[in-house]
Chain A
Amino acid sequence: MFKLPSRREFLHVGFCGGVGLSLGQFFKMRQAQAEIKQYENFEGTAKSVIFIYLPGGMAHQESFDPKPYAPVEYRGPMNSIDTNVPGIRLNEKLAQTAQVADKITFCRSMTHGEAAHERGTHNMFTGYRPSPALKFPSMGSVITHEFEPRNNIPQYVCIPNQPNEFAGTGYLSSSFAPFSLGADPAAQGFTVRDLTLPNGVDDGRFSRRRNILDAVNDHFTTKEKADSIDAVDTFYQRAYNLVSSQQAREAFNIEAEEAAVRDQYGRNQAGARMLLARRLVEAGARFVTLTYGSWDMHDNIHGGINNQLPAFDQAYASLIRDLDQRGLLQSTMVVVASEFGRTPKINGTAGRDHWPKVFSVAMAGGGIKGGMTYGSSNATASEPEDNPLNVEDWASTIYHCLGVVSDKELMAPGDRPIEIVDGGKVRQDLLA
């Protein structure tokens, strides 16, 4: 399965700037493939990932890792509740999530060293520490690179928009960029633009248009060769596929969902985004990234959590339950993450500040065990205690469930093989 070349053979590959892969480099890459660490992708337990990202740094204490026995300045102003798994307690505003806790693993020992938003965000989207020497691709883009589209649905979709620059393609060609909806599914009259042919253009006329376009392009593309042209070509092909598939387009139509289901998820940003994410993975999307809320609660954390967590709770619990009922939870991994946690002690403005040393992520489905906690933080939620979970191992575990060996190398510009994740190990204890 894996031909191990002399590791030395490519130690000297160069650092080169720029993004994307030029055509020359692409051919070069083809030749060099024999030299880089290659693994075959395999049938993973997860067919899709729904990546729920809570930007700003959600407090682990006020969500998945309450410390009810810590002194009040650590414990914070909020209470915790029991779940349907004995011994696991969650924040009081996660009442519905508490009822599906048996489907979820709460990783309470996530840790990295980046206390700035953008750097922490980079870690959680790419599995790498930031390095301006190289732009790393997001997990979604890597998955787009590794697999073919299913049912003409874009493989990697961002709801409502690409949330940050690290959710993009990094050193990979821009052909692997996410598809951004461009509108919030919670908005009245939400539609994804430009999915259907304009008035007056039927399939026949559209195919004539395409024929003419091919003829016009032919002149130019025979004399010009560039990565940027290839990327445009790729997107046109994807667009044609999407436009010509009724089924694929319907996945974006949240109106087609029953009113009861919409109510159950909640007719708000959290609910609509998670419901649409379910429709998309059901239709064949592989990696759906959605964001919800703003969690940078330096001040008044009690108020902030009260404002935002209930809607998240309702939508998230509905999503887990809904996926489970449809038999999709087994093949869909739902990940909840944030760039870091928040300081152990409540600060002078009744909030908490940035804290990457330990925080929590929640994982469910797609081959992840349910009904447990993985790792733990210490009594004041300030350091990992058991099984510290680093970004590399966490990302490798997600890739593993999707059927990708994260030690595989992709070619970055300058003929430089880069592991999908550098040195990550799959955490077997997380796997069902």
Chain B
Amino acid sequence: MNYKRILILLCGLSFTFTSLLADEPAAPATEEAKPAEAKPAEPQPTPEAKPEEKPAEKPAEPAPVAPSEVKIFPPNVSLTTARDRQSVIVQAIYPDGITRDVTSEAKWTLANTELANFENFTLSPKADGETELTAEFAGLAVKAPVKIEKATEDRAISFKLDVMPVFMKGGCNTGSCHGAARGKDGFRLSLFGFDPNGDHFRLTHEISTRRINLAQPDRSLLVEKSIGTVPHTGGKRFTTESELNQTLIRWLEAGANNDPGEVPAVTSVELYPPAAVMDGEGSTQKLTVRANYADGTNRDVTHLAYFISANETSAEVSQEGEVTAGTRGEAFIMARFETHTVGSHFIVLPKGLQYEAPELAVNNYIDEHVNNKLKKLRIFPSELCTDEEFLRRVYLDIVGKLPTVAEYNNFIASDDPNKRAAVIDELLERKEFVEIWVMKWAELLQIRTIPNNVTYKSMLRYYDWLQSRIASNTPIDQMTRELLSANGGTFANAATNYYQAEQDTLKTAENVAQVFMGMRIQCAQCHNHPFDRWTMNDYYQFSAFFSQIGRKGGEDPRELIIYNAGGGEVKHPVTGQVMAPKFLGGATPDVAGKDRREVLANWLASPENPYFAKNLVNIVWAHFLGRGIIHEVDDVRVSNPPVNPELLDDMAQRFTEYNYDFKKLVRDICNSRTYQLATATNDSNKLDGTNFSHAALRRLRAEVMLDCISTVTETKNKFQGLPNGARAVQIADGNTSTYFLTTFGRAKRETVCACEVSVEPNLSQALHLINGETSNQKIQEGKLVEKRLAEGVSPQDVVTELYIRTLTRKPTDKEIAFLNEQIAAGGAPQQVLEDIFWALLNSREFLFNH
């Protein structure tokens, strides 16, 4: 039932890694279900294997070449107190990037065996001192210093340090079990252990003498339920002999006390190895997890960490911490301990895959990062797209329009080798580029009217403010500071509208985190975030920045005045403590006598905040490539890592250096070869949907599609509050819509979620384009065909023009032949041509950016 349990536990996790599926169905990889044709050669010792006894694990195939490097993890060992220990692993790295777990094949030497024991690849203390552990494999030796302190001292059992992790590892405090808000079968634990004191109370005092039995610790209900000696809905969680159970019993024997005072907090968790490239199905890699505490000590928590694979098809991880490779693909392997989740990147390649890294053309730094990743995955990127494809793509992406016939002809005719860069530069200076990004920002800032709250005038002032900032290419950090620290009337200083539409303190904090940092911290309102680092403390401390927003009516009843009230606090709902404002993942600033929002804004929109630039870069990238480097763009978390961290980091770094100049960033992206790749795939990348090895097909978003239809048919639209002929991307109010826009998935801006914009097809869309006014009436209304025929243009030339207008290409010979037949057979040429026009507007090629 392993996968069920993980499924339940994983509430909160959505995954980025799509498996790169191999051609055969996934073969079983669990112990019980070995493939029928398991290699007969299995028991043969591999050449590298030492003649000593063979460990009971699957041998890897002999690697044809010697490793180029051998690494030992953790790189240093420190043992404190008698029960401490540390497991170690050795990883061999081959010249082609493949890694192998050679822990059991390496020759191990402990310099001073008086100081420590080394058994089962685990060190445990004997006496204080310092020594060195050496592992030798294939002629390469690697050493780890070992330090032993308080070797004979036994650390007292601690409820928070030792017992609480048992509930996590045992799965006791998950949302489907005792971690549920009302508990399970009458017993509740805090979800993922956010409230250890409460858990201690419920165990020891809630129903006195029921759950624990200090006279006979091993007869405690807590123990008997866990080891399954009495009926337990959750079944047997661990065995009597297990360390988890021994920990419970030791704690009970010691009196089942809570810890007096504070215990050292976990400051970080390390997961080793940090990366692995596995050679074929069935290869394995052991993991080791180490927690570092605030008092400077560390512990091996491999046995207490909860392991999760983001892609079990490619890499399965056991709760003992062993990864087994599956089908080709990549997987993020995570270990969760206390509130920390750490990950390690695993790639699985088909066994013995022959691959020679190609010389890949590169336009700029973006391509280097993308290609580096593709090389690791043994993927070849697609070819460069054609000029026609490029022109259509870059117009739709940068300005949300299609090129005119003249623009098309000029571009195709030009023999300037830099014509692609030139057209990018030209488009970036157009006002339509500004409009696209005003629209996208208006979604993030939820610009819309709200009955009895945000009036049309307020909304419009807000929109104008945003428009002026984007149009003047105001650096985004400056715009952000202006917005978040805004004070004044919603008419006089329109940026204050941000605090009119949303007046709830916690919700405001959540929105700010989601929009400006890409993080969904909502979970942490009620419990520690299960798959990110955020705790309830983080959540309420971040919310405290928004607790002193004053609001009062203005002279105009439609206006609201936002000011710094200078008072108001946020309290932790469990402890009731007043929370001091603290940056999310940052410092606790001095806010005394200051406007808290200003303090926050100055940090948020600065390089001090590691997420600000990355988040913006990711949003922009997703607009142009169809998918974020972190996907979804507003779901940044430890357990949802970027597919290409080097690319994201580098772009973010440059964006910061560009002084947050948005155009420079867009220019880099559009000029990259990665952006200009064809959609057509090759054998190696046809199943890749995440690493940008080919261009993605993207349905046009509602506004852009309507604008394109209107432009190519030469018709106008009337939207509320805008002059006749305005474009749909210019609509200020999220609540202004039309049937077309709603049906094709325009965002209502009711939430900050990037998911509001929908490009999913449906039956209504098909019916509307087939029968509805947006295609039929517009063709009639624009009279384009009629005008051209009246001007004496031949039907064939009209067809060519319609093709260029809608698809940015000329008809193929095959199409010309077929359409000429239709024209010849049909009656009035106008009607046939209008039918061709209708077909072009309904074509898949028109609906998609490709």
**Residues in chain A within 8 A of chain B (CB atoms):** 6, 8-19, 22, 24-25, 28, 31-32, 34-35, 113, 115, 129-134, 154, 174, 177, 179-180, 182, 193-198, 201, 205, 208-209, 211-213, 215-217, 219-221, 223-224, 226, 228-229, 231-233, 235-236, 238-240, 242-243, 413-416, 422
Contacts and interface: CB of A to CB of B under 8 A. Distances in A.
Given A18-B18, A216-B815, A223 B311 contact: no
Interface stretch (B189-197, B240-248, B770-778): B770-778
A235 B762 contact: yes
B826 A228 contact: no
Contact of A134 (B7, B32, B181): B7
A240 B766 CA distance: 9
B384 to A, nearest CB: 15
Which applies to chain B's interface (DSSP): helix, strand, loop or mixed? loop
Nearest to A19: B760
Contacts of B180: 113
Contacts of B232: none
Of all A-B residue pairs in the complex, the 5 with the closest CB atoms, nearest first, are: A14-B313, A17-B15, A220-B845, A194-B767, A213-B839
A34 B24 CA distance: 12
Given A130-B11, A414-B18, A32 B763 contact: no
Contact of A215 (B3, B7, B11, B818): B818
A82 B29 CA distance: 61
Interface stretch (B258-266, B576-584, B784-792, B830-838): B830-838
B25 A13 contact: no
Interface stretch (B596-604, B606-614, B652-660, B679-687): B679-687
Interface in B297-311: 309-311
B32 to A, nearest CB: 5
Contacts of B3: 11-13
A16 B687 CA distance: 13
B26 A219 contact: no
A12 B822 contact: no
B431 to A, nearest CB: 31
Contacts of B743: 182
14 contacts: A14-B19, A16-B18, A31-B24, A113-B182, A133-B15, A194-B771, A201-B776, A205-B835, A209-B839, A213-B839, A217-B843, A219-B814, A223-B679, A224-B844
Nearest to B774: A194
A401 to B, nearest CB: 26
Contacts of A201: 776
A12 B739 contact: no
Nearest to B523: A132
Contact of B767 (A25, A195, A415): A195
Given A6-B33, A174-B762, A179-B762, 20 more contacts: A6-B28, A6-B32, A11-B2, A12-B26, A16-B311, A18-B689, A113-B180, A113-B181, A129-B11, A133-B7, A133-B10, A177-B760, A193-B767, A195-B767, A212-B818, A215-B818, A216-B815, A228-B759, A229-B844, A236-B842
A217 B313 contact: no
Interface string B686-718: 110100000001010000000000000000000
B437 interface: no
A235 B839 contact: no
B5 to A, nearest CB: 11
B762 A14 contact: no
A112 to B, nearest CB: 11
A232 B761 contact: yes
Contacts of B182: 113
A12 B679 contact: no
A305 B187 CA distance: 36
B100 interface: no
Contact of B835 (A14, A132, A212): A212
B812 A219 contact: yes
Interface of B: 2-4, 6-8, 10-19, 21, 24-26, 28-30, 32-33, 176, 180-182, 309-314, 316, 326-327, 329, 331, 631, 679-680, 686-687, 689, 697, 699, 739, 743, 759-768, 770-773, 776-777, 812, 814-815, 818-819, 822, 826, 831-832, 835-836, 838-840, 842-845, 847-848, 850
Contact of A217 (B679, B826, B845): B845
Most buried by A among B309, B764, B831, B842: B764
Contact of B815 (A215, A224, A229): A215
B313 A131 contact: no
A179 B764 contact: yes
A325 to B, nearest CB: 31
A28 B25 contact: yes
A131 B764 contact: no
B787 to A, nearest CB: 18
A228 B848 contact: yes
Most A C-beta atoms less than 10 A away, residue of B6, B329, B697, B814: B697
A196 B772 CA distance: 9
Nearest to B840: A216
A55 to B, nearest CB: 16
B317 to A, nearest CB: 10
A197 B771 contact: yes
A32 B25 contact: yes
A177 B3 CA distance: 28
Contacts of B847: 232
B381 to A, nearest CB: 17
A211 B845 CA distance: 16
B18 A17 contact: yes
Contact of A15 (B4, B312, B842): B312
B739 A193 contact: yes
Contacts of A422: 4
Nearest to A169: B760
Which of A132, A174, A243 gathers the greatest number of chain B CB atoms within 10 Å?
A132
A28 B21 CA distance: 8
B30 A238 contact: no
B740 to A, nearest CB: 10
B631 A32 contact: no
Contacts of B842: 213, 236
Contacts of A232: 699, 761, 766, 844, 847
A131 B531 CA distance: 13
Give the most central of A154, A242, A416: most B CB within 10 Å: A416
A182 B740 CA distance: 11
Contact of B313 (A22, A24, A416): A416
B11 A132 contact: yes
B310 to A, nearest CB: 6
A13 B767 contact: no
Most buried by A among B19, B761, B814: B761
A13 B326 CA distance: 9
Contact of A235 (B316, B761, B831, B848): B761
B768 A194 contact: yes
Contacts of A238: 763, 766
B311 A414 contact: yes
A14 B331 contact: yes
A216 B845 contact: yes
A8 B33 contact: yes
Contacts of B19: 14, 16, 414-415
B815 A219 contact: yes
B16 A12 contact: no
A104 to B, nearest CB: 31
A11 B766 contact: no
B18 A217 contact: no
Contacts of A220: 843-845, 850
Nearest to A20: B760
A219 B760 CA distance: 23
Nearest to A15: B15
A316 to B, nearest CB: 28
B14 A193 contact: no
A205 B776 CA distance: 13
B312 A212 contact: no
Nearest to B310: A15
B28 A131 contact: no
B25 A14 contact: no
A19 to B, nearest CB: 8
A125 B530 CA distance: 25
